[in-house]
Structure 1
Amino acid sequence: MPGGLDRRRGRRAGEENLVRQFAALAARPGAEPPLLFIRVRTPEQIPDLVRRLGPTVRLLTGFVLPKFTEERGIPFLEALTGAEKACGRRLFAMPVLESPELLYRESRVETLEGIFRAVDKYRDRVLALRLGVTDFCSSYGLRRAPDMTAYDVQIVASVIADVVNMLGRADGSGFTVTGPVWEYFRVPERMFKPQLRQSPFLQVRAVELREKLIEHAMDGLLREISLDQANGLLGKTCIHPSHVLPVHALSVVSHEEFSDAQDILRPERGGGGVLRSAYTNKMNEVKPHRAWAERTLLRAEVFGVANEDVGFVDLLAAGIPG
């Protein structure tokens, strides 16, 4: 089979390049790389790559596990555990939820229950669950336009809701679920009006910044990030460098959010009750908002807290050159 042979050769070449890149990175003096994950296709690749990486495995954080279900995922997680013992280094997993069984209504609940059993068994190794929305769309021959978010595609939005419902609960049983990929980085022509209001951009070089964001389809991305957060997702898989800054900027905890979270979690509030926010614009109800406050402070540890007079536009402007 020529096609299969070509794929195997291509995969082998990719693996050899990966091993070379790890060696080159390890040779750089004082290098402190970010958390590095390798996306594999089969469970067998995990122990094989760990062996071939040799001493440079110290740079490896873990593996991304595609099309994760209980049936397909357990062999990956078992291979990860075995490779961890072989190399003497803790390795983590990031399963990708993108299989048709998860999308189809008649098999969704059963598939989600199986996924939960698998990741719960290996909970200490699963850092996050990723959503493969592009694969969801492909099952129906769909592709969302740059003017639309994943939440405008109703069949996709229903999957996201069910994943968060069963796998993202705040009662201690849930996992971090990350937002889907945004596919676009430049738009030649748009059908709908831009989604960025002008008012937040009236200062800080902001008119020029707004035009640049719209030109590169970032207005849709910014809206989708906001909807991700509103629907219980944290972080986002980025496929282009231009996406990193908007994701980080909107993940920073605002001073107002931080203030509310701290107020809600003060020891003296342990008995519950309702209080007016320090910004005098909302009600903070201690018991219902406690889980939100705890998650907000965790997000603050990772992404930081903005100063009182700094908004997301300031953060975007600070990171975009000239």
Structure 2
Amino acid sequence: MRHFGHIAPEERRRLFHQEPAVFTADAPARVLAVALGATLYSPATRPQLADDVVKQAGRGVVSMVLCLEDSIDDADVVDAEENLVRQFTDLAGRPDVELPLLFIRVRVPEQIPDLVARLGPAVRLLSGFVLPKFTEERGVPFMEALTGAVTASGRRLFAMPVLESPSLLYLETRRETLEGIFRTVDKYRDRVLALRLGVTDFCSSYGLRRAPDMTAYDVQIVASVIADVVNVLGRADGTGFTVTGPVWEYFRAQERMFKPQLRRSPFMEGEVEELRETLIEHDLDGLLREISLDRANGLLGKTCIHPSHVMPVHALSVVSHEEFSDAQDIMRPERLGGGVLRSAYTNKMNEVKPHRAWAERTLQRAEVFGVAGEDIGFVELLAAGLPG
């Protein structure tokens, strides 16, 4: 699989200075953690789930979560589990179909070994499990269950803990909760692919819900948690993990209070003004702003609940030619001693030692999302990636 693999090869060559690399579900964890991109959630109750997975893969989705938790009714769990097993078996019978990375979001630890056993040979299609409301107390049983399932099946399976518990939100328990989460994920570091943020649950604790023209960062109580999670769990010193961006809830137009957040000029230059209007009509201008703020705040990738959210996430994950040029300059072997140099774009200072961690992460992102051509911007990438 590869990002933007669903567009024609000649179009991909036109758009990219360096095309996204091909990778598989067996790639190193560091590659998969960056490559997750827009992780599309789907209820495990969908009767045509196998067809849905194949369809979304053909539209550029690289990772999916099939959900047995909050997206389905409590009374439907047993039927949803049975449906999951059927759908995985169906997918296993389609050997020539390229599939995304597939994860199952469970409710309790006991579901992990049970589902792995019931999947049988189809477990080879599974990349791991999403673990809800993760704290040290809740997380250890989940991680032990996962470790046992890996041993029993012989299949490499990852965990993606979801950080969404009230104890993480409340000021008086936040530090202790974060320290406990770190102890747990550090102990099982080889099994943890990425950490996910459950902002909807955070808002629920205070009866809040952000409007479509506001981002998670406009809700200060949520923004403070994101900052603390990245502070403790997203460090670039080798102790951190990939932390993914929160879900965007909207996909249809709502009544607006504020002006649209998309400038007109980038779309006029690309002669795709109609695309701008479509994005605004579907409240995706707010999503685009939130994606930009995610990356500025140390997050990578995003939880998505609608297919229309996928390509905006991926288009904004592509490394610009300018970023790539700066990162390469900073990482040159002769620069190990440090120093300051002018960007090749002559518009900024690159300070080698302070910017080195940024450069390393940028080149990792360039590997899986590619590097845009020198004159190619986000608008062209988005327009090319959307279904025709």
What TM-score, normalized to structure 2?
0.80
Point out the more displaced range, 153-162 or 25-34.
25-34
Residue type matched to 2:116 in 1? V
1:1-322 to 2 correspondence within 5 Å? 9-321=75-387
SS of residue paired to 2:304: coil
Using the TM superposition, give the Cα deviation of residue 206 of structure 1 relative to its aligned residue in structure 2, in angstroms: 2.2
SS of residue paired to 1:232: coil
Residue type matched to 2:183 in 1? R
The structure with the largest strand share of the pair is 2
Residue type matched to 1:172 in 2? G
Deviation per residue, 1:169-214 (Å, 9 max, x gap): 0000000000000000011311110001112111223211110000
Contact 2:212 2:254 in 1 (8 A): no
What TM-score, normalized to structure 1?
0.97
Q: In structure 1, how many angstroms separate the alpha carbons of the residues matched to 2:241 and 2:183?
A: 12
CA 1:141 to 1:7, structure 2 compared with 1: closer, same or farther past 3 Å?
Answer: closer
Q: State percent identity of aligned pairs.
A: 84
Contact 1:205 1:317 in 2 (8 A): no
CA 1:107 to 1:183, structure 2 compared with 1: closer, same or farther past 3 Å?
Answer: same
Point out the more displaced range, 185-194 or 292-301.
185-194
Q: In structure 1, how many angstroms separate the alpha carbons of the residues matched to 2:159 and 2:284?
A: 29
Which of the pair has the greater relative contact order for Cα pairs under 8 Å at 6+ separation?
A: 2
SS of residue paired to 1:36: strand
Using the TM superposition, give the Cα deviation of residue 33 of structure 1 relative to its aligned residue in structure 2, in angstroms: 1.3
Deviation per residue, 1:300-319 (Å, 9 max, x gap): 11111111110001111112
Using the TM superposition, give the Cα deviation of residue 7 of structure 1 relative to its aligned residue in structure 2, in angstroms: 6.0
Deviation per residue, 1:221-243 (Å, 9 max, x gap): 00000000000000001110000
Using the TM superposition, give the Cα deviation of residue 30 of structure 1 relative to its aligned residue in structure 2, in angstroms: 1.2
Unmatched 5+ stretches in structure 1: 1-5
Deviation per residue, 1:42-78 (Å, 9 max, x gap): 0000000001000100111000000000000000000
Using the TM superposition, give the Cα deviation of residue 8 of structure 1 relative to its aligned residue in structure 2, in angstroms: 6.0
Give structure 1 regions of 4+ aligned residues with deviation exceeding 3 angstroms: 6-9
The structure with the largest helix share of the pair is 1
Residue type matched to 2:92 in 1? A
SS of residue paired to 1:237: strand
Aligned residues: 317
SS of residue paired to 1:108: helix
Residue type matched to 1:292 in 2? W
Kindly report the root-mean-square deviation, in angstroms, between the aligned alpha carbons of the 2 structures: 1.2
Point out the more displaced range, 79-88 or 182-191.
182-191
